[in-house]
Amino acid sequence: MATATQTQTVDLAARFPGMVSADTRPGYTGFIVNKDNLIEVATAVRDEFGFDLMTAVTGVDYIAENKMEVVYHAFKTTGGAGLVFKVQVERVDPIEVPSLINIWPGVDFQEREAWDLYGIKFTGHPDLRRILMWEGFEGHPLRKDWKEPFYEEDVKPYKSRWPEGNHTYAEEKNPYRDNLNFPEGFDPEKFTVDKEEDLYLSLERDTAKDVDGSMKTEHIVVNMGPHHPSTHGVLRVAVTLDGETIIGLKPVMGYLHRNHDKIGERNTYLQIIPYTDRLDYFNSMSNNFGYVTTIEKLMKIQVAERAEYIRVIMAELSRVQNHLIFIGMLMNDLGTMYTPSLYAFEERELVLDIFEAVSGTRMMCNYFRFGGVVRDIPDYVLQKIKDLVFERLPAKTDEMERFLNENEVLVARLKGIHVLNAEDAIKYSVTGPVLRATGVPYDLRRADPYSIYDRFDFDVAVRHNGDMMDNYLIRFDEIRQSLRILEQALKQIPQGPINSQKAAYQVRVPAGEAYGRIESPKGELGFYVVSNGKPNPYRYHVRPASFVNLTAVESMCKGSKIADFVALLAMLDIVMGELDR
Amino acid sequence: MDNEKLSLPNYNIPQDIENVVAITTLDRLYNWGRRSSVWPLMFGLACCAIEMIAAQTARYDMARFGMEVMRPTPRQADMMLVSGTVTKKMLPSIIRLYNQMPEPKYVVAMGACASSGGPFKEGYNVVAGIDKFLPVDVYIPGCPPTPQALIAGMIKLQEKIDKESISKVRWYNKEKFDGNYVPMPLLGPDLIDVRRNTEIRDIAAKKTTQESA
Ligand code: SF4
């Protein structure tokens, strides 16, 4: 069961006496490492204990104790429980923690995020710039003493609106009458705009110097995005080109940074569920799944039996739908505008019909609750799902494969392009289908089973070349496996209650921390939640798959053609709502 | 549009040329042409953009209203569909795109976020509605609006176009029309709306005096 992840398998404190101590705060697990020994301990964690996949790095601001904490979650690609270790530093600027980028290069973006939002300086990080906000922004917004312009109260529900329900406009309370806040004595006329020199400097630093000495060419820097015609939303990349070949690349993100963490820390536990819908907006069901699993872990409650099956059915339908869209969008980006994606959307609409029938909305389902789900599946919907799973979807998947797989242009554009090898993939903390296409059979449904996935008979889809073609084909494999799970779940689903808990506006969550993760269609979707026993989480952090998978992009596309880059974005299957949060 | 709608009523056309000749006003003809070929800018911001794509697909098929030609470049677009959360970091790019669109141009705010900030209004990086910067023609409520709602909003826009008159529209008015440029906001310690520079300086200065007093 899911709780198995929390058991400690490694005793770091015994291995490093004096450098590491067990975290004894009630409800907490893992170890606290001395800041000065971090590199040494982390190296041992990777090499001696075999935790090769560093998935989540984040900060927590314990303002009452005057401490800033960095939390690391490391896992093994062979599966099993993870290892949590933390570093605590005095909360006095400059807050400095050694960077682990040389041990796990996958921490790159996550450390930059912690710098951006918490102001934790990772010494030794070669490129510590802001990542979600822009350079020059005032303050580090996730610190507990940083207040946004529309700040009203620390936690919801706000007294002004509840229970009486008197609403006010946020604009009325702010001197600027808008979502703005400037430092004292700020004069906009004297302000000079940041020319993003840091970005271009870092681009230049990482640009391959000597490409091919035979011809003298001039390099140009091109900015793609944030508005561009590929279908992946508002991502921007700055690329250095030598002719048409990419020799340097830096992604720039944050154009859809909607402050998910900060808003989440203000919401009650229940209020967060609809926000998680808006993370990866193709898969609201999976996002719900990840979040409620985490909170259930903290609350230590059981999920109603029927609800477990409903959850799995919804999550797998979501995966099928996501992969179909993936194929359609990949084709779009390769230039076969619209036709394949029209086929994909046709099936997606049928899945959305089911979501709408059970939850009331097509996309933002808000369907899961702690201990179960919010509504039962009516029989006619169950019948509809059966028709889809047993009849229509298998046939349509075959049809799509028949239409596309052998296509000469498609093979030419995909085969052998953007190869990622397993070693690099693990190094950069890549998860999900992209990792499995490199030959690593790491699927959380098997590697660290949650919910009731251990009851189903299915194979972890693996391909071995790690190129675009395998990434494309593995999506079909996964659709087939999901359909297999769905068939079993639909046959086995029992009758019974759909929630083990009573419906309540507020839930009691005991103090402690939990890291819950699920295999979302894009990869590992993790939630790190710290509760202090109050109705709102003290720390709420999302570890999105798209964001971390993007770490690998720079090394993957150096030396390939710019025209293939858009296809690479499609292949990583990024979605900005999750990437930027 | 069929003949009946295009022709002015009560104008007698000899019966033998009834299906060949239509008599109408220039306004009607002008608007009919424009309303039936509103080309949106291919531009998605967040979750709402997915419903926008869904509205283009077979089941809803916006092509029925002449709106299927999504243009990736603003130079060829007539309408900006602001489909999603507008963040402060993204806003300068949106304004630049708007300024690059030639007249006549329309702005549709799709969803709660684009209309008012929606569920993310309190966020420090969120602009509370695109109408703080751009003139919005149609607001479409919903989070996200269903494709049907989006189409209903588009029809509202068509109704608006129907009411315009070629002699009065701003883009032919040489004396008054200034190009409709929106000044670019800057990214400083926070988002700087350059139209409000003096105001911002005054309030920021007041803050200092208040705190030192
Ligand atoms: S209105 Fe809702 S669906 Fe649309 S962008 Fe905002 S949060 Fe997403």
**DSSP class per residue in chain B:** --HHHHSPTT----GGGTTT-----HHHHHHHHHHTT-PBB----SHHHHHHHHHHSTTT-GGGGT----BSSGGG-SEEEEESPPBTTTHHHHHHHHHHSPSS-EEEEEHHHHHH-GGGTT-TTB-S-GGGTS--SEEE-SSSPPHHHHHHHHHHHHHHHHT--TTT-GGG-TTT----PPPPPEESSSEE-GGGHHHHHHHHHHHHHHHH-
Domain boundary among A81, A101, A123: A123
- Asked if residue A24 belongs to a domain, the reply is yes
* Gap between the Cα atoms of B94 and A306, Å rounded: 47
Give the type of residue at B8.
L
Q: Is the domain of B178 the same as that of B196?
A: no
Task: Write down the pLDDT at residue A482.
Answer: 92
Q: Whose CA is closest to atom 5 on ligand 1?
A: B84
Which one is predicted more confidently, A119 or A159? A119
* Gap between the Cα atoms of B99 and B195, Å rounded: 16
The count of structural domains within chain B is 2
Q: Would you call B132 and A134 a contact, using CB atoms and an 8 Å cutoff?
A: no
User: Does B72 score more than 50 pLDDT?
Assistant: yes
Element (H, E) at A548: helix A545-549
CB A255 within 8 A of CB A576: yes
Residue A414 pLDDT level (bands cut at 50, 70, 90): confident
Residues in chain A with CB shorter than 8 Å from the CB of B120 are 258-259, 263
* Gap between the Cα atoms of A487 and A390, Å rounded: 7
Q: Is the domain of A119 the same as that of A268?
A: no
Q: Residue range A297-324: average pLDDT?
A: 91
Cα B46 to averaged position of ligand 1 atoms, centre (Å):
7
Looking at chain A, how many residues does it have? 581
The tokens for B19 are: 């299906």
Residues in chain A with CB shorter than 8 Å from the CB of B144 are 363-364
- Asked if residue A220 belongs to a domain, the reply is no
Please enumerate in sequence order all residues whose Cβ is within 8 A of that of A195, keeping only pairs 6 or more positions apart, or say none: none
Q: Residue range A436-460: average pLDDT?
A: 88
Q: Residue range A390-419: average pLDDT?
A: 87
Lowest-confidence range among A127-141, A331-345, A364-378, B7-21?
B7-21
Tell how many helices (H) and how many strands (E) occur in chain A.
21, 15
Residue of A nearest to B44 (CA): A233
Q: Would you call B122 and A176 a contact, using CB atoms and an 8 Å cutoff?
A: no
Q: Is the domain of B174 the same as that of B209?
A: no
Q: Is the domain of B156 the same as that of B101?
A: yes
In 3D space, the residue among A208, A216, A213, A214 whose CA is nearest the CA of residue A241 turns out to be A208
User: Does B138 score more than 90 pLDDT?
Assistant: yes
Q: Is the domain of B140 the same as that of B176?
A: yes
Task: Write down the pLDDT at residue A186.
Answer: 80
* Gap between the Cα atoms of A239 and A252, Å rounded: 11
- Asked if residue A165 belongs to a domain, the reply is no
Lowest-confidence range among A8-12, A251-255, A449-453?
A8-12
Task: Write down the pLDDT at residue A135.
Answer: 83
CATH of the domain at A28: 3.30.460.80
Q: Is the domain of B57 the same as that of B155?
A: yes
Q: Whose CA is closest to atom 8 on ligand 1?
A: B47
- Asked if residue B14 belongs to a domain, the reply is no
Task: Write down the pLDDT at residue B141.
Answer: 92
pLDDT (tens digit per residue) in A311-332: 999 999 999 999 998 898 888 8
* Gap between the Cα atoms of A65 and A87, Å rounded: 14
Between A148, A187, A278, which is nearest B124 by CB?
A148
What is the extent of the structural domain holding A25?
A: 4-123
- Asked if residue B4 belongs to a domain, the reply is no
- Asked if residue B10 belongs to a domain, the reply is no
Element (H, E) at A68: strand A67-75
Q: Is the domain of B204 the same as that of B162?
A: no
Cα B113 to averaged position of ligand 1 atoms, centre (Å):
5
Lowest-confidence range among A70-74, A347-351, B65-69, B183-187?
B65-69
- Asked if residue A138 belongs to a domain, the reply is no
In 3D space, the residue among A308, A401, A395, A385 whose CA is nearest the CA of residue A352 turns out to be A385
Q: Is the domain of B87 the same as that of B153?
A: yes
Task: Write down the pLDDT at residue A478.
Answer: 92
Q: Would you call B187 and A178 a contact, using CB atoms and an 8 Å cutoff?
A: no
Q: Whose CA is closest to atom 3 on ligand 1?
A: B144
Domain boundary among A102, A123, A144: A123
Residue with tokens 């011809």: A215
- Asked if residue B121 belongs to a domain, the reply is yes
Q: Residue range A258-284: average pLDDT?
A: 90
pLDDT above 90: percentage of residues in chain B: 15
Cα A362 to averaged position of ligand 1 atoms, centre (Å):
13
- Asked if residue B18 belongs to a domain, the reply is no
- Asked if residue B61 belongs to a domain, the reply is yes
Query: What does DSSP say about strands A120-123 and A95-98: parallel, antiparallel, or unpaired?
Result: parallel
pLDDT above 90: percentage of residues in chain A: 18
Residue A7 pLDDT level (bands cut at 50, 70, 90): very low
The alpha carbon of residue A454 and the mean position of all alpha carbons in its chain are separated, in whole angstroms, by 23
pLDDT (tens digit per residue) in A495-523: 888 888 888 888 888 889 999 999 999 98
Q: Is the domain of B160 the same as that of B197?
A: no
Task: Write down the pLDDT at residue A230.
Answer: 66
* Gap between the Cα atoms of A23 and A27, Å rounded: 9
Domain boundary among A107, A123, A139: A123
Between A148, A188, A342, which is nearest B122 by CB?
A148
Interior/surface letters B82-106, b for 16+ CB within 10 angstroms, e for the rest? bbbbbbbbbbbbbbebbbebeebbb
Q: Residue range A120-136: average pLDDT?
A: 87
Q: Residue range A249-258: average pLDDT?
A: 88
Q: Which of A278, A337, A346, A355 to mutate to probe the B interface, most B CBs <10 Å?
A: A278
Residues in chain A with CB shorter than 8 Å from the CB of B51 are 362-363
The residues lining ligand 1, judged by C-beta closer than 6 Å to any ligand atom, are: A 278; B 46-48, 84-85, 111-113, 118-119, 143-144
A185: distance to nearest CA of chain B, Å?
A: 4
Q: Would you call A188 and B90 a contact, using CB atoms and an 8 Å cutoff?
A: no
- Asked if residue A226 belongs to a domain, the reply is no
- Asked if residue A531 belongs to a domain, the reply is yes
- Asked if residue B99 belongs to a domain, the reply is yes
- Asked if residue A65 belongs to a domain, the reply is yes
pLDDT (tens digit per residue) in B8-36: 666 777 788 877 877 788 888 888 888 88
Q: Residue range B72-100: average pLDDT?
A: 89
pLDDT (tens digit per residue) in A533-562: 888 899 999 999 989 988 888 888 888 888
Q: Is the domain of B135 the same as that of B213?
A: no
A181: distance to nearest CA of chain B, Å?
A: 6
Q: Would you call B203 and A256 a contact, using CB atoms and an 8 Å cutoff?
A: no
Q: Is the domain of B134 the same as that of B193?
A: no
Please enumerate in sequence order all residues whose Cβ is within 8 A of that of A131, keeping only pairs 6 or more positions apart, or say none: A109, A112, A113, A115, A116, A253, A254
Q: Is the domain of B149 the same as that of B47?
A: yes
The tokens for A459 are: 């194979």
- Asked if residue A373 belongs to a domain, the reply is yes
Q: Would you call B189 and A180 a contact, using CB atoms and an 8 Å cutoff?
A: no
Q: Residue range A19-47: average pLDDT?
A: 86
Task: Write down the pLDDT at residue A139.
Answer: 85
- Asked if residue B21 belongs to a domain, the reply is no
Residue B140 pLDDT level (bands cut at 50, 70, 90): very high
pLDDT above 70: percentage of residues in chain A: 96
Q: Is the domain of B46 the same as that of B128?
A: yes
Residue A336 pLDDT level (bands cut at 50, 70, 90): confident
The count of structural domains within chain A is 2
Residues in chain B with CB shorter than 8 Å from the CB of A274 are 119
Q: Residue range A364-391: average pLDDT?
A: 90
| Mean pLDDT score of chain A | 86
Between A193, A234, A259, which is nearest B186 by CB?
A193
What is the extent of the structural domain holding B209?
A: 185-213
Partnered with residue A569 across adjacent β-strands are none
Which one is predicted more confidently, A452 or B1? A452
Cα B51 to averaged position of ligand 1 atoms, centre (Å):
10
Task: Write down the pLDDT at residue B212.
Answer: 44
CATH of the domain at A287: 1.10.645.10
